[in-house]
Chains A and B, each alone.
Chain A
């Protein structure tokens, strides 16, 4: 009963040392830092699992014809790559950052609900054990695309119920994690830490957590409908029974569009921490950042059908969703201009976290612009389901969300481990990533505009050159990420001690703690002026 050990007389006994027993430290832990570390390691492993699948896809697409894999397996790769990267890599990485940083940033001793925190993490591991195991099942892993559209997805083999239940479990994990984040932020702030004094990372996570609680149950409902349609004779997506396959698309994208902001809002939070530090200026337009984030979150609920312009929606619906989508450009532009204004006339230095953040601002904007192109309904009839879409969402997710995760790792690693990472490896990692990510994804715009469909293992020879370039970029980008592991390792096994403040422009409560941060962040709440 480890629960009981600290049940009495908490005063004067702060348990500053982590438990020495492996199980107590890493399996039964309720410590926000250890759980954060578990999340981050899990997401890094998933990043390489999903990355390997991406390289299988790019290897097959290096030239026309079928070289390496069967079409069915190719489709499994596109499907599982997406599910792994979205739910296993990007989201858990941000949850890991939230766990590590939110209690330190708001001056709390830990997360508000520590046992549930542990459950959130282990449920995620259970869900991905189930999902990845479907690769070895009769009929193969799910191959209908990560959007799981019926009736195609209903043809999945034995993997079908496993896929549905894996999504249920990861949804439960996300909901519990989000409840924890919201309650921690709303209830655990140190005296004086008013809402409008919170670091932007905390603000963006507060709003993200709200989005997660609102939409993960809807995804659970959508896959439940798939399950009952397949096994229990319901007619949700069966027109003969009065249902409609397009209903699934509505339900899915009601989840799915907020989901893309779930993956990018915390990224906005990360760069809003890093750019002021290396510009040695406060964030420009803090309150407009908060309102812009909230506006994006609100708008994310009323734009979902821009994923469905080609489904035969009435013209009034298309117009509404087109215009609502374009509105999102306004708060997003507010953010971009605020970051630029923060850098304007700052004393800039270009350590690795700053390099990744600047690359984020530039390359995310490219993804944002291609998003505006896709929002134009009549133009979308041409772009829909082509590689242009693939290029668009990879620009916002890879040099978007993933680059900020790299930036965050370099920025806070010294605080976590107590040692600086190797700056040479970090810079090399940055330049390799920044160059090769463009070699990888930029040509996909061209083949997409020329009409190459996504999720197809073979293609006409007219697309061969750009696909070859893209594949070369993919392998170079993929293997560059080993440098990231080397850089992390250089900090874990570091030689150069980090100071408490680490970066001389860094502001915020987490930099007032020693490096490495003590096992419990703030036993006595700090006072904020």
Chain B
């Protein structure tokens, strides 16, 4: 909405960090492409790009943090940041939606149709005669060979409990920052990312177990594909979220943020809750049902 205080909206005048970030991303993408095409120099360029990107992240975030702490961001700037973060999370929802869509398509359409459902009687009779549609499946050609699926009530259930608990600790920390209870804030924020890191440890253990004992791999047909792509992208987001929580925690230790001015904390909190909700969908549709 429109606001009277808009004349003091802070407009930065020039910044080299976006351009540095562009060079970083460009180098990463070119390095990754060369790597995938099999050239030895690929990983080197890839790593170099990440180095540039990290320099950018430190520089750009550093600038913004200094500006924020010096008090030049008024409520309108704060609202811009909040809206920006909200829409960014919406874009992430659509990204995960795309992969969930692939899972539902496989379970609801492509596997049944390969089994002869809908108008696909001849697809089954002529191409994949012995295939019966069941989920989970690695397809009529059984790509990847015999495998076992990942049960829901072992580590995944434990991980669900971990993430839900981390949502509670984060909310306690949020109330603490608003009430000015810095000690509670520091403790519960630390608990949150520690729970996040434990989650990641379990997830890594689960992957090793799946690869070495269940013969469940990324290449295990559509089941392995959707299992690893969904949980993998989620794990990547948990990792990023936990790192973001850690950074915010370090800032809290340094005495950053005020009771009514802590956008970075809230942005990371939203992100963490979003990752949490994605996990609940994963638990239900990938592991359980």
**Contact with A244, one of B88, B91, B110 (Cβ below 8 angstroms):** B110
Asked if residues A213 and B105 are in contact (CB atoms below 8 Å), the reply is: no
Contacts of A11 in B (CB 8 A): 7-8
Asked, given contacts A113-B80, A125-B22, A238-B143, whether A28 binds B15 with beta carbons under 8 Å apart, the answer is: yes
Which A residues from 255 to 284 make CB contacts under 8 A with B? Answer: none
Interface size for chain B: under 10, 10 to 19, 20 to 34, or 35 or more residues? 35 or more
Asked if residues A242 and B106 are in contact (CB atoms below 8 Å), the reply is: yes
Contacts of A152 in B (CB 8 A): none
Residue of A nearest to B87 (CB): A179
Q: Considering residues A109, A112, A169, A172, which has the most beta carbons from chain B within 10 angstroms of its beta carbon?
A: A112
Asked if residues A242 and B114 are in contact (CB atoms below 8 Å), the reply is: yes
User: Closest CB of chain B to A223's CB: distance in Å?
Assistant: 10
**Complex Cα gap A29–B13 (Å):** 7
**Contact with A179, one of B23, B84, B99 (Cβ below 8 angstroms):** B84
Which B residues from 177 to 219 make CB contacts under 8 A with A? Answer: 217-219
Asked, given contacts A179-B88, A233-B219, whether A314 binds B15 with beta carbons under 8 Å apart, the answer is: no
Asked if residues B137 and A242 are in contact (CB atoms below 8 Å), the reply is: yes
**Complex Cα gap A242–B132 (Å):** 11
**Contact with A241, one of B22, B91, B225 (Cβ below 8 angstroms):** B225
Contacts of A24 in B (CB 8 A): 14
**Which one of B32-40, B148-156, B161-169, B260-268 is at the interface?**
B32-40
Q: Considering residues A6, A168, A216, which has the most beta carbons from chain B within 10 angstroms of its beta carbon?
A: A6
The answer to whether A186 has its CB under 8 Å from any CB of chain B is yes
Contacts of B7 in A (CB 8 A): 11, 109, 523-525
Asked if residues B218 and A122 are in contact (CB atoms below 8 Å), the reply is: no
User: Closest CB of chain B to A239's CB: distance in Å?
Assistant: 6
Asked, given contacts A238-B139, A244-B105, A525-B6, whether A126 binds B11 with beta carbons under 8 Å apart, the answer is: no
**Contact with A130, one of B30, B105, B143 (Cβ below 8 angstroms):** B30
Asked if residues B14 and A109 are in contact (CB atoms below 8 Å), the reply is: no
Contact with B along A104-148 (1 / 0, CB 8 A): 000011101111101100110110011000000000000000000
Asked, given contacts A118-B15, A119-B18, whether A187 binds B94 with beta carbons under 8 Å apart, the answer is: no
Contacts of B139 in A (CB 8 A): 235, 238-243
**Complex Cα gap A362–B72 (Å):** 51
User: Closest CB of chain A to B247's CB: distance in Å?
Assistant: 19
The answer to whether A165 has its CB under 8 Å from any CB of chain B is yes
The answer to whether B29 has its CB under 8 Å from any CB of chain A is yes
Contact with B along A1-44 (1 / 0, CB 8 A): 11111111011000100010000100111110000000000000
**Complex Cα gap A222–B99 (Å):** 9
Residue of B nearest to A192 (CB): B2
Residue of A nearest to B88 (CB): A179
User: Closest CB of chain B to A105's CB: distance in Å?
Assistant: 13
The answer to whether B25 has its CB under 8 Å from any CB of chain A is yes
Contacts of B223 in A (CB 8 A): 242
Asked if residues A214 and B94 are in contact (CB atoms below 8 Å), the reply is: yes
User: Closest CB of chain B to A162's CB: distance in Å?
Assistant: 5
Asked, given contacts A2-B13, A3-B63, A234-B225, whether A161 binds B18 with beta carbons under 8 Å apart, the answer is: no
Asked, given contacts A2-B16, A166-B29, whether A242 binds B221 with beta carbons under 8 Å apart, the answer is: yes
**Complex Cα gap A179–B86 (Å):** 9
Asked, given contacts A217-B91, A251-B98, A525-B2, whether A188 binds B9 with beta carbons under 8 Å apart, the answer is: yes
User: Closest CB of chain A to B47's CB: distance in Å?
Assistant: 16
Contacts of B88 in A (CB 8 A): 175, 179
Which B residues from 23 to 74 make CB contacts under 8 A with A? Answer: 23, 25-26, 29-30, 32-33, 36-37, 60, 63, 66-67, 70, 72
**Complex Cα gap A168–B144 (Å):** 29
Contacts of A84 in B (CB 8 A): none
Asked if residues B72 and A187 are in contact (CB atoms below 8 Å), the reply is: no
The answer to whether A488 has its CB under 8 Å from any CB of chain B is no
Asked, given contacts A28-B16, A217-B92, A220-B95, whether A4 binds B63 with beta carbons under 8 Å apart, the answer is: yes
Asked if residues A183 and B84 are in contact (CB atoms below 8 Å), the reply is: yes
Contacts of A1 in B (CB 8 A): 63
The answer to whether A483 has its CB under 8 Å from any CB of chain B is no
The answer to whether B288 has its CB under 8 Å from any CB of chain A is no
Residue of A nearest to B3 (CB): A191
Contacts of B23 in A (CB 8 A): 126
Asked, given contacts A5-B14, A251-B98, whether A242 binds B33 with beta carbons under 8 Å apart, the answer is: no
**Which one of A47-55, A224-232, A324-332, A352-360 is at the interface?**
A224-232
Asked if residues A243 and B15 are in contact (CB atoms below 8 Å), the reply is: no
Residue of B nearest to A21 (CB): B14
Asked if residues A242 and B110 are in contact (CB atoms below 8 Å), the reply is: yes
Asked if residues A126 and B90 are in contact (CB atoms below 8 Å), the reply is: no
Contacts of A175 in B (CB 8 A): 88, 91
**Complex Cα gap A420–B90 (Å):** 43
Asked if residues B33 and A108 are in contact (CB atoms below 8 Å), the reply is: no
Contacts of A113 in B (CB 8 A): 80-81, 84
The answer to whether B102 has its CB under 8 Å from any CB of chain A is yes
**Complex Cα gap A238–B83 (Å):** 40
**Contact with A189, one of B2, B98, B99, B228 (Cβ below 8 angstroms):** B2
Contacts of B109 in A (CB 8 A): 244
Asked if residues B37 and A122 are in contact (CB atoms below 8 Å), the reply is: no
Asked if residues B22 and A3 are in contact (CB atoms below 8 Å), the reply is: no
Q: Considering residues B83, B87, B114, B140, which has the most beta carbons from chain A within 10 angstroms of its beta carbon?
A: B87
The answer to whether B79 has its CB under 8 Å from any CB of chain A is yes
**Contact with B9, one of A19, A109, A193, A232 (Cβ below 8 angstroms):** A109
**Complex Cα gap A31–B11 (Å):** 9
User: Closest CB of chain A to B143's CB: distance in Å?
Assistant: 4
Contacts of A123 in B (CB 8 A): 22, 25
Contacts of A215 in B (CB 8 A): 94
User: Closest CB of chain B to A132's CB: distance in Å?
Assistant: 13
**Complex Cα gap A166–B33 (Å):** 10
**Complex Cα gap A228–B224 (Å):** 12
Asked if residues B18 and A115 are in contact (CB atoms below 8 Å), the reply is: yes
Asked if residues B12 and A232 are in contact (CB atoms below 8 Å), the reply is: no
Asked if residues A28 and B19 are in contact (CB atoms below 8 Å), the reply is: yes
Asked, given contacts A109-B9, A240-B143, whether A2 binds B14 with beta carbons under 8 Å apart, the answer is: yes
CB<8 Å pairs between A and B, sample of 17: A3-B12, A8-B70, A10-B10, A10-B72, A113-B81, A118-B18, A118-B19, A119-B21, A126-B22, A130-B29, A169-B29, A179-B87, A183-B80, A213-B90, A218-B97, A228-B225, A242-B110
**Knowing that A10-B72, A30-B12, A241-B144 are A-B contacts, what are 19 other residue pairs whose CB atoms are under 8 Å apart, sorted by A's residue number?**
A10-B11, A27-B16, A29-B14, A30-B15, A31-B13, A115-B18, A115-B60, A179-B83, A179-B91, A191-B3, A221-B95, A221-B98, A228-B225, A234-B228, A235-B139, A239-B139, A240-B140, A254-B98, A312-B119
